[in-house]
Amino acid sequence: MESDDEELSRLWSELAKKPITRIFDKKTYVPERKVTVSTVGYNRLMGAHRTAETTVFAASDDGEVVDWAALYIEGHGMYPSGERLEVEHMRVVAGIRDGSIALDNFI
């Protein structure tokens, strides 16, 4: 019988063999803040306890990311639906526009 650590190691090894596939990808440029909001979701882990996240990056006037250092990041848990990710993405965009998500410390 395998220990908990052995079982976890075996499960991680099996997961690592599974090809990663992007299942959600949306980007929105917020010109008044010169940032691009990016929400992505994958079929396997991309960080601790999450398969999806929204990240905000500094952007040029045409919306291209100019610095890949995250200005804001928010995880969305394990295997959220595309519908939920759409809602979360638009919530972050709205929060940046109305100031409830502050980036002043970063920009």
Separation CA 24–CA 65 (nearest Å): 19
Tens of pLDDT along the chain (107 residues) come to: 667 778 767 766 766 677 888 999 999 999 999 999 999 999 887 777 888 999 999 999 999 999 999 999 998 988 889 999 999 999 999 999 999 998 865 54
Q: How far apart are CA 45 and CA 48, in angstroms?
A: 7
What is residue 59's three-state secondary structure? strand
Phi and psi based region of residue 77 (left: phi greater than 0; alpha: psi -120 to 50; beta: remaining): left
One DSSP character per residue, 12-47 reads: HHHHHHSPP-EEEEEEEEETTTTEEEEEEEESS-SB
Extents of the domains making up the chain: 20-98
